[in-house]
Amino acid sequence: MLQTRLLDPTACAYQAPLLIKRLLLSGVRYEKTREIVYRDLLRYDYLTLNQRIARLANMLSAAGVKAGDTVAVMDWDSHRYLECMFAIPMLGAVLHTINIRLSADQILYTMNHAEDKFVLVNSDFVPLYQSMAEQLQTVEKTILLSDGCETTADLPNLVGEYEHLLAGASHQYDFADFDENSIATTFYTTGTTGNPKGVYFSHRQLVLHTLAEVSVLGSLDSVRLMGSDDVYMPITPMFHVHAWGMPYAATMMGLKQVYPGRYEPDLLIKLWREERVTYSHCVPTILQMVLGAKSAQGVDFGGWKLIIGGSALTRSLYDLAKSRGIQLTAAYGMSETGPLISCAHLNDELQAGSDDERTTYRIKAGVPVPLVEAAIMAGDGSFLPHDGSSQGELVLRAPWLTQGYYREPGQSAQLWQHGWLHTGDVATIDEFNFIEIRDRIKDVIKTGGEWISSLALEDLISRHPAVREVAVVGVEDPQWGERPFALVVLQEQHTLDAKQLKEHLKPFVEQGTINKWAIPSQIAVVTEVPKTSVGKLDKKKIRLDIVRWQASGSTFLSTL
């Protein structure tokens, strides 16, 4: 460390620690009458939001919540979740956003591992909670969240129902200052191998992440997704990396916010229309679900801007969304990174390119956002050039990356080898500083000495007019080590076999986009592709399914 001149900590100036409570100051100052909307059930303004957060803090304190305690939430995307994202960390407690889509065993594991002391449970999850209750080792009290008139439930040590408790609490609370490096939130990765791993973020990290997010979304010309007149609706679960941090950003800016509860495509479309939503974010499969909904047919979604992240954005989804009036922007991040790392920003030079060239860049993972450093690392820890073709592991440094996995020192050391956070993604960085994710390291297909990107192949296969959805994985092969295998869901009244797919891919082999080993020798035509708890392709489950189908000679397999 250089010997620099430090600020005097004993000076009488106020230090203004970067605490989440500061994100709450400006929204209500700008737009106190703007609304927070919950489904078609409830709406209130920013003044009320601030008062409800104070009420919640009073109610939780009365229930016994103290600084340092972990308070868990099991809810769909709601105004209550937004209130918890502020009130719980503002008390100095840690908010655990429970991934309600994990299996009951995994949820139980995460709750015991995180040492949850208080749990707020939506009435939809009461049966699930009851099934785990006896095995929960640290929970002391529960609070019921209800959309209806239920004021009680058979929950152990129930304090009461949220709305009733809020109504009885004071709407004023004097939130104390504390160290900005205090942990504010925790949640568990959706990884498909081993136990879920806990990541955690401090107040300082979340404040800086919010500022970076607002600066990118609000001021980069080619992005401009979130200005003060936009209406925000997440379609990413709030347990998935705090809905990508957007509720903090939207609240800081005083945007109208719409929380859709449990995702029902028709209600999402109704809310989009009636509340005049202009900005959302989701993984690709959720957008496909929305566009495929009955009530979406024939609708012009003009004016809707969406960030697509969490998985690669294919050209066919980009084009489909564009034809329906939706502007898509690709972004990249992960649970460990809070999540925002990069966003597809086209500079002057790229804007001047052809339509086709612009699309090529708009669907890549994007350029690192302010305060983020990204590099490509070889297996020996050396750095590779940013030439658009040298592939290696994407490694990162930024002020808001998790400092480790909670109570997992071995895995934390691996995550932070060589002082950089290891993403587990194979990527390139080019002359425009664009990151392109080639694949997850564990999903790259190694066939006859060649490395094939499952993502590149999915992108090309998805351009076939018969294909609605596709997943590509490597399956073991005695001769070649692995061979690519494609799982496809077809558009209605279309057919596809392995030979037709080969014909579709041949031109890309001739152009040199892929090599000839990338052509799958076997495909399966299915009605649904297995998904993870956050709607991504579940490649682990897909591999297991394929082995089973191959062993039983399943009829929906088609072979060259």
Q: How far apart are CA 340 and CA 334, in angstroms?
A: 8
Residue 148 Cβ vs ligand AMP, minimum distance, rounded to whole Å: 32
Say whether residue 311 binds ligand AMP (CB under 6 A). Answer: yes
| Contact track, ligand AMP, 499-538, x by CB under 6 A | -----------------------------------x----
- Residue 141 token pair: 């009290």
Q: How far apart are CA 44 and CA 481, in angstroms?
A: 59
Which position among 437, 456, 488, 498 is part of the footprint of ligand AMP (CB under 6 A)? 437
Burial of 4 (0-12, 13-18, 19+ CB in 10 A): exposed
Residue 408 Cβ vs ligand AMP, minimum distance, rounded to whole Å: 15
Which position among 84, 231, 253, 330 is part of the footprint of ligand AMP (CB under 6 A)? 330
Residue 539 Cβ vs ligand AMP, minimum distance, rounded to whole Å: 11
Q: How far apart are CA 453 and CA 446, in angstroms?
A: 9
Residue 140 Cβ vs ligand AMP, minimum distance, rounded to whole Å: 30
Residues 341-380 that bind ligand AMP (CB under 6 A): 365
Active site residues: 189, 336, 446, 451
H-type helices in 324-423, by residue range? 348-351, 355-362, 409-415
Q: Which residues of 369-394 are buried (b: 16+ CB within 10 A; e: fewer)?
A: beebebbbbeeeeeebebeeeebbbb
- Nearest residue to 335 (alpha-carbon basis) of 193, 437, 237, 189: 189
Quote the Cα angle for 20-25-27, to 5°.
Answer: 110
Residue 190 Cβ vs ligand AMP, minimum distance, rounded to whole Å: 5
Say whether residue 440 binds ligand AMP (CB under 6 A). Answer: yes
Which position among 51, 97, 190, 428 is part of the footprint of ligand AMP (CB under 6 A)? 190
What are φ and ψ of residue 341, in 5° steps? Answer: -120, -50
Say whether residue 312 binds ligand AMP (CB under 6 A). Answer: yes
Q: At what angle do helices 246-253 and 23-30 cross, to 10 degrees?
A: 40
Which of 28, 328 has the CB closer to ligand AMP?
328
Which position among 118, 272, 332, 485 is part of the footprint of ligand AMP (CB under 6 A)? 332
Q: How far apart are CA 188 and CA 175, in angstroms?
A: 28
Residues 128-157 that bind ligand AMP (CB under 6 A): none
Contact stretch for ligand AMP (CB under 6 A) within 306-314, 319-327, 353-361, 460-468: 306-314
Contact stretch for ligand AMP (CB under 6 A) within 108-116, 123-131, 284-292, 308-316: 308-316
Which position among 310, 404, 474, 520 is part of the footprint of ligand AMP (CB under 6 A)? 310
Residue 310 Cβ vs ligand AMP, minimum distance, rounded to whole Å: 5
Q: How far apart are CA 367 and CA 162, in angstroms?
A: 42
Q: How far apart are CA 123 and CA 108, in angstroms?
A: 18
Which of 60, 534 has the CB closer to ligand AMP?
534
Say whether residue 423 binds ligand AMP (CB under 6 A). Answer: yes
Cis peptide bond prior to 247, omega within 30° of 0: no
Say whether residue 251 binds ligand AMP (CB under 6 A). Answer: no
Residue 341 Cβ vs ligand AMP, minimum distance, rounded to whole Å: 8
Contact stretch for ligand AMP (CB under 6 A) within 116-124, 254-262, 331-339, 489-497: 331-339
How many positions of this chain bind ligand AMP (CB under 6 A)?
17
Say whether residue 97 binds ligand AMP (CB under 6 A). Answer: no
- Residue 526 token pair: 């299915």
CA 370 from centroid of its chain's CA atoms: 19
Say whether residue 334 binds ligand AMP (CB under 6 A). Answer: yes
Query: Radius of gyration (Cα) for the chain, nearest Å?
Result: 24
- Nearest residue to 557 (alpha-carbon basis) of 515, 509, 525: 525
Contact stretch for ligand AMP (CB under 6 A) within 274-282, 327-335, 376-384, 414-422: 327-335
Contact stretch for ligand AMP (CB under 6 A) within 66-74, 209-217, 329-337, 475-483: 329-337
Burial of 320 (0-12, 13-18, 19+ CB in 10 A): middle
What are φ and ψ of residue 181, in 5° steps? Answer: -85, 10
Contact stretch for ligand AMP (CB under 6 A) within 225-233, 303-311, 495-503, 543-551: 303-311
Residues of the shown chain interacting with ligand AMP in the complex, contacts defined by CB under 6 A: 189-190, 309-312, 330, 332, 334-335, 365, 423-425, 437, 440, 534
